[in-house]
A = this chain, B = another copy of it.
Amino acid sequence: MNTPPPSERGTVRRLPQRASYEEAVIHSILDEGLVAHVGVAVEGQPYVIPMIYGRIGRHLYLHGASVSRLARQLAQGVPVCLTVTLLDGLVLARSAFHHSANYRSVVALGTAVLVTDDEEKTRALEALTDHALRGRWAEVRPPNAQERKATSVLRLPLDEASAKVRTGPPRDDDEDLPLECWAGVLPLRLLTLPPEPAPDLREGIHPSAALLEYRVRQGSS
């Protein structure tokens, strides 16, 4: 069930049966992802940089050192493309041609703007901190004035976003089904290992329940 695509340029052309413009689908992929790949173009040359992000409602937030090239470029209001990809498995067909991957991805187009409102900046930093590990913001020392000044926060509206999803087994041509070749899916999961305390951690401080419960992060079942 799809809502109409948000724009001409935001419409998935290749394998459109894999596309979705449903907000719930888009949000769930963004919430499960940990890293976004953010593209900006400078005089025709694209640059694609991995960044963490947070979501509040229909907005994504990015942050960076205020002095960084990327943060300064983004703050000028340039067009960006933010892509989040969850790799769920390798699809191994009997023919090389039908090899594929099971994945869920979101592509969001738009213009990022610098967040200047103090309260929005605080909520965005909270969302960025809690995105990877819910409840972490409440456990840590919040940013002081100097740290806030050194950090640029940018807001990207989710007005032009699309999701693309592939699931299921390989789809081989009928004439390849008799081949003596194993076919199926090799599922992939991003998992956590037990937390490793910092060498300078004081004795007697244990990971929070949230941290210990944070085990399986990504992967569709």
* CB-contacts of A64-110 with B (<8 A): 64-65, 68-70, 78-83, 85, 87, 90, 92-97, 99, 101, 103, 105, 107, 109
A140 at the interface (CB under 8 A from B): yes
Q: In the complex, which residues 116-174 of chain A have their Cβ closer than 8 Å to any Cβ of chain B?
A: 125, 129, 132-133, 136-137, 139-144, 147, 150-151, 169-170, 172
Are A141 and B176 CB-contacts (below 8 A) given A47-B81, A48-B37? Answer: yes
The answer to whether B136 touches A97, judged by C-beta atoms less than 8 angstroms apart, is no
**28 A–B contacts, CB within 8 A, in A order:** A14-B70, A35-B87, A37-B85, A39-B41, A39-B81, A41-B41, A41-B44, A41-B45, A46-B80, A47-B109, A49-B107, A50-B103, A92-B133, A94-B140, A94-B141, A97-B143, A97-B147, A99-B129, A99-B136, A140-B181, A180-B205, A182-B201, A184-B201, A185-B196, A185-B198, A186-B193, A187-B194, A190-B191
Interchain nearest-CB distance for A48 vs B (Å): 4
A4 at the interface (CB under 8 A from B): no
A192 CB-CB contact with B under 8 Å: yes
Task: State the majority secondary structure of interface residues on A.
Answer: mixed
In the complex, whether A1 has a CB less than 8 A from a CB of chain B is: no
Number of this chain's copies in the complex = 2
Measured as residues with beta carbon below 8 angstroms from the partner, the interface class of chain A is: 35 or more
Is B38 a contact of A79 with CB atoms below 8 Å?
no
A103 to chain B, nearest CB (A): 7
Q: Is the CB of B52 within 8 A of A186?
A: no
- The reply to whether A198 and B169 form a contact with Cβ atoms under 8 Å apart is yes
